[in-house]
């Protein structure tokens, strides 16, 4: 009973709804395969400019696809909560004894599980394309944890925007505006040495860079503690900020 | 209750509902019914005043109130992707039920609202009446002592409406559940509620049982259908007849109020005839709740129903 029980109930609901929407589910799960194959073909020449330790362009791109897919999936929670507000379903939950925090946690967990599912497919696809994960199974598990952390931070952002605006149109506009700059002004797709000076500076301040670097370290580097701590600390801070923003917006709804 | 934009939705109302009562809040759209029910059910924070539900103070123990009440919101709030069974099960879990006890309760309620056959189908494929019945079942999942219903039959066809009425009567009579219902339908208030408060523009304008309220009017209505050109003359002539104590305009002509309309109806007809006024239709009726509303506000509820706006989400 209490928060874990309510979170589990709402998480279960989120998963069931996702499974009942096969078009959405298949789109998300095919996405990592399509993007990894497509981008690695398109930018294959970049491999020649990478240091020999990078393990080829597919290995370099794999973390990029991990963060790209997480970014694209992140507005789902926001969309769901907007639908729940507008359909009256959120009121129905608020009229029960359910813990209020569980409403957000259940939703975050649903989003995180979708992203981790995508990450699993990304890693399998990368391995099928010849990438060796240098850190082995512990590294793979840490990759999933990284993606889960990142998704929690992003999902919180869209939950906050969704609750504040109560419009799914706004969510798709904001996410559409954010994806490409966040991905291309970072180390996700290619090393920053390919970017002009100002973009390199932007990349250094882009959180996506840090997440991509952590994932890259785990794919083709080693278990470098400094990079891991830096990446997790940054994601943790972002997750805290977005979750606080969500809670702030949510309190306005429930009081 | 004052909204952020300064709208005073409900002001200075005070009432109490006894345990086991079937209590109704009757009023046209925008009267403040939904606002009141949102405050009582913990969804909306009141700006001033004191509320106690099932013996619990609204500000101090909202969760105790949530445990003791079931709520049926105005728009049917079910998850259309989940089946009927799954909707009830989720609602039960959120009301802190679990295990075998919950499974049994779900089956019992599906049987009560006669949805066992479709329990495994997604709610998206249910008709409006079926959804309302499932929604009612979900409000009952945790065996609440009290049930709040915000316009439970708005938008339903006649058959579904009667079905909901029968369930509610059964719950109140045979299961001892206290019911608080808001409605804009006179027939609904008249049939179901033993105690009634009439609300308009955020203020309570009358209280009592439907029969007391009607009796207080003291007379019958003689409704006359007349062309617009003769209405003023008809009002003038009718008010001279002994026994008629009030004559008002109505949508189709005029309405005269008298203690024993049957005894003076002949005089009404002959007097009008003498004055060359020929109503195309005449009817005598005992007072209705609409007459009560008309007497208190000078307007009818019926005509306002036609101007009804789309229902809005329960949450503001």
CATH number at B145 reads 3.40.50.300
Percent of the residues in chain B that have a pLDDT greater than 90, as a whole number: 40
Structure tokens at B92: 């039960």
Q: What is the pLDDT of residue B309?
A: 44
Q: Which residues of B touch A162 (CB under 8 A)?
A: none
Domain count, chain B: 2
- The stretches of chain B forming alpha helices (DSSP H) are 33-40, 62-68, 84-94, 99-112, 128-139, 158-175, 186-192, 210-217, 231-238, 261-274, 289-297, 301-306
In this structure, which long-range contacts are made by residues B34-37, counting pairs with CB atoms below 8 Å and at least 24 apart in sequence? Answer: B34/B74, B34/B150, B34/B151, B34/B182, B34/B314, B35/B1, B35/B9, B35/B10, B35/B202, B36/B1, B36/B10, B36/B182, B36/B199, B37/B71, B37/B148, B37/B150, B37/B180, B37/B182
| Same-domain check for residues B46 and B74 | yes
Say whether the ipTM exceeds 0.85.
yes
Q: What is the pLDDT of residue B310?
A: 45
The least confident of B31-40, B216-225, B300-309 is: B300-309
Give the position of tokens 């972002």. A238
| Cβ atoms of A139 and A223 closer than 8 Å | yes
| Candidate from B41, B82, B93 with C-beta closest to A95 | B41
- Distance, in Å, from the CA atom of B189 to the CA atom of B152, rounded to the nearest integer, reads 12
Interface residue B99 vs chain A (CB under 8 A): no
Distance from the Cα of B282 to chain A's closest Cα (Å) equals 46
| Same-domain check for residues B188 and B249 | no
| Candidate from A9, A16, A88 with C-beta closest to B313 | A88
Over the stretch B8-30, which tens digit does the pLDDT of each residue have?
778 778 888 899 999 999 888 87
**At A57, phi and psi to the nearest 5?**
-70, -35
Closest CA to B29 of B136, B150, B135, B128: B150
Domain membership of residue B296 (yes or no) is no
| Candidate from A6, A9, A91 with C-beta closest to B77 | A91
Closest CA to B71 of B23, B140, B174: B140
| Same-domain check for residues B31 and B155 | yes
Q: What is the pLDDT of residue A195?
A: 85
Domain membership of residue B120 (yes or no) is yes
Tell if the CB–CB gap between B67 and A97 is shorter than 8 Å.
Answer: yes
Interface residue B172 vs chain A (CB under 8 A): no
| Same-domain check for residues B140 and B260 | no
Tell if the CB–CB gap between A96 and B94 is shorter than 8 Å.
Answer: yes
Closest CA to B114 of B127, B99, B124, B102: B127
Q: How confident is the model at residue B34 (pLDDT cuts 50, 70, 90)?
A: confident
Interface residue B284 vs chain A (CB under 8 A): no
Taking the CA atoms of B259, B264, B268 and B269 in sequence, report the sign of the dihedral they define: positive
Segment B234-256 shows an average pLDDT of 87
Q: What is the pLDDT along chain A (255 residues), one digit of tens a residue?
A: 789 999 999 999 999 999 999 999 999 999 999 999 999 989 888 877 777 767 788 999 999 999 999 999 999 999 999 999 999 899 999 999 999 889 999 999 999 999 999 999 999 999 999 999 988 898 999 999 999 989 988 898 899 899 999 999 999 999 999 988 999 999 998 888 888 899 999 999 898 998 998 899 889 887 778 878 888 888 888 888 888 888 888 887 765
Q: What is the pLDDT of residue A115?
A: 95
Distance from the Cα of A171 to chain B's closest Cα (Å) equals 20
Neighbour count for residue A197 (Cβ, 10 Å): 8
Mean pLDDT of chain B: 87
Strands B244-249 and B178-183 turn out to be: unpaired
| Same-domain check for residues B26 and B49 | yes
| Same-domain check for residues B75 and B201 | yes
Instruction: Kindly tell me if the per-residue pLDDT of B314 is higher than 60.
Output: no
Q: How confident is the model at residue B303 (pLDDT cuts 50, 70, 90)?
A: low
| Same-domain check for residues B46 and B193 | yes
Instruction: Kindly tell me if the per-residue pLDDT of B306 is higher than 50.
Output: no
Domain membership of residue B310 (yes or no) is no
Segment B195-211 shows an average pLDDT of 88
Its domain, for residue A72, covers: 3-254
Its domain, for residue B137, covers: 22-211
| Same-domain check for residues B204 and B223 | no
Query: What percent helix, strand, coil does chain B show, rounded to 5?
Result: 40, 20, 40
Tell if the CB–CB gap between A5 and B93 is shorter than 8 Å.
Answer: yes
Interface residue B315 vs chain A (CB under 8 A): yes
Q: What pTM value is reported for the model?
A: 0.83
| Cβ atoms of B93 and A32 closer than 8 Å | no
Closest CA to B55 of B47, B63, B64: B64
Q: Which residue has the higher pLDDT, A236 or B298?
A: A236
| Same-domain check for residues B121 and B156 | yes
Distance from the Cα of A162 to chain B's closest Cα (Å) equals 15
Top residue of B79, B80, B124 to mutate, by most chain A CBs within 10 Å, is: B79
Domain membership of residue B302 (yes or no) is no
Domain membership of residue B308 (yes or no) is no
CATH number at B223 reads 3.30.70.260
Domain count, chain A: 1
Domain membership of residue B312 (yes or no) is no
Q: How confident is the model at residue B175 (pLDDT cuts 50, 70, 90)?
A: very high
Interface residue B66 vs chain A (CB under 8 A): yes
Q: Which residue has the higher pLDDT, B148 or A230?
A: B148
Q: What is the pLDDT of residue A39?
A: 92
| Same-domain check for residues B117 and B139 | yes
Across A98-126, b (16+ Cβ under 10 Å) vs e yields bbbebbbbbbbbbbbbbbbbbbbbbbebb
| Same-domain check for residues B121 and B243 | no
Our CA dihedral for B232, B237, B241, B246, rounded to 10 degrees, sits at 10
Domain membership of residue B307 (yes or no) is no
CA angle A63, A65, A67 (to 5 degrees): 70
Q: Which residues of B touch A85 (CB under 8 A)?
A: 313, 315
3-state secondary structure A84-107: HHHHCHHHHHHCCCCCHHHHHHHH
Q: Which residues of A touch B82 (CB under 8 A)?
A: 13, 16-17, 20
Structure tokens at A20: 């009942």
Domain membership of residue B255 (yes or no) is yes
- Distance, in Å, from the CA atom of B287 to the CA atom of A114, rounded to the nearest integer, reads 62
| Same-domain check for residues B197 and B272 | no
Interface residue B78 vs chain A (CB under 8 A): yes
Strands B203-208 and B56-57 turn out to be: unpaired
Structure tokens at B15: 């009432």
Q: What is the pLDDT of residue B308?
A: 44
Can you give the length of chain B in residues? 316
Q: How confident is the model at residue B315 (pLDDT cuts 50, 70, 90)?
A: low
């Amino acid at each position: 009973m209490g928060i874990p029980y309510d979170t589990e109930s709402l998480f279960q609901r989120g998963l069931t709804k996702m499974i009942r929407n096969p078009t959405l589910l298949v789109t998300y799960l095919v996405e990592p395969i399509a993007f990894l194959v497509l981008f690695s073909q398109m930018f294959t020449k970049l491999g020649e400019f990478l240091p020999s330790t990078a393990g080829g362009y597919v290995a370099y791109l794999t973390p990029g696809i991990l963060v790209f897919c997480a970014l694209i999936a992140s507005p789902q929670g926001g969309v769901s909560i907007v639908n729940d507000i507008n359909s009256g379903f959120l009121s129905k939950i608020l009229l029960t004894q359910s813990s209020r925090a569980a409403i957000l946690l259940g939703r975050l967990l649903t989003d995180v599980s979708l992203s981790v599912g995508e990450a699993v497919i990304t890693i399998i696809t990368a391995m099928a394309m010849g990438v060796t994960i240098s850190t082995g199974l512990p590294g793979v598990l840490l990759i999933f944890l990284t993606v889960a952390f990142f998704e929690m931070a992003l999902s919180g952002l869209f939950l906050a925007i969704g609750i504040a605006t109560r419009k799914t149109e706004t969510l798709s506009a904001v996410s559409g505006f954010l994806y490409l700059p966040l991905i291309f002004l970072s180390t996700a797709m290619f090393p920053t040495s390919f970017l002009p000076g100002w973009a390199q500076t932007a990349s250094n301040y882009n959180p996506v860079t840090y997440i991509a670097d952590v994932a890259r370290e785990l794919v083709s580097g080693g278990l470098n503690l400094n990079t891991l701590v830096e990446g997790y600390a940054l994601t943790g801070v972002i997750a805290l900020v977005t979750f606080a923003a969500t809670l702030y917006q949510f309190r306005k709804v429930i009081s | 209750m004052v909204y952020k934009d300064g709208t005073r939705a409900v002001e200075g109302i005070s009432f109490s509902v006894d345990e086991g009562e079937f209590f109704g809040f009757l009023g046209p759209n925008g009267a403040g019914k939904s606002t009141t029910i949102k405050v009582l059910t913990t969804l909306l924070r009141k700006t001033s005043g004191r509320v106690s539900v099932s013996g619990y103070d609204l500000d101090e123990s909202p969760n105790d109130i949530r445990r003791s009440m079931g709520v049926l919101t105005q728009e049917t709030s079910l998850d259309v992707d989940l089946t009927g069974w799954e909707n009830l099960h989720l609602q039960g879990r959120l009301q802190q039920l679990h295990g075998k006890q919950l499974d049994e309760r779900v089956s019992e309620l599906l049987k009560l609202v006669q949805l066992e056959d479709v329990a495994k189908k997604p709610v998206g494929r249910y008709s409006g009446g079926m959804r309302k019945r499932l929604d009612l079942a979900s409000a009952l999942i945790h065996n609440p002592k009290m049930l709040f219903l915000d316009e439970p039959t708005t938008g339903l066809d006649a058959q579904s409406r009667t079905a909901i009425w029968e369930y509610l009567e059964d719950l109140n009579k045979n299961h001892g559940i206290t019911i608080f219902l808001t409605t804009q339908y006179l027939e609904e208030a008249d049939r179901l509620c033993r105690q009634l408060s009439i609300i308009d523009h955020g203020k309570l304008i009358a209280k009592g049982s439907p029969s007391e309220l009607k009796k207080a009017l003291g007379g019958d209505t003689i409704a006359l259908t007349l062309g617009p050109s003769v209405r003023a003359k008809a009002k003038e002539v009718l008010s001279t007849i002994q026994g008629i104590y009030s004559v008002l305009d109505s949508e189709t002509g005029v309405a005269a109020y008298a203690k024993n309309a049957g005894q003076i109806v002949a005089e009404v007809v002959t007097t009008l005839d003498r004055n060359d006024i020929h109503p195309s239709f005449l009817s005598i009726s005992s007072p209705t709740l609409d007459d009560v509303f008309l007497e208190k506000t000078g307007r009818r509820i019926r005509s306002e129903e036609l101007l009804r706006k789309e229902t809005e989400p329960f949450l503001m």
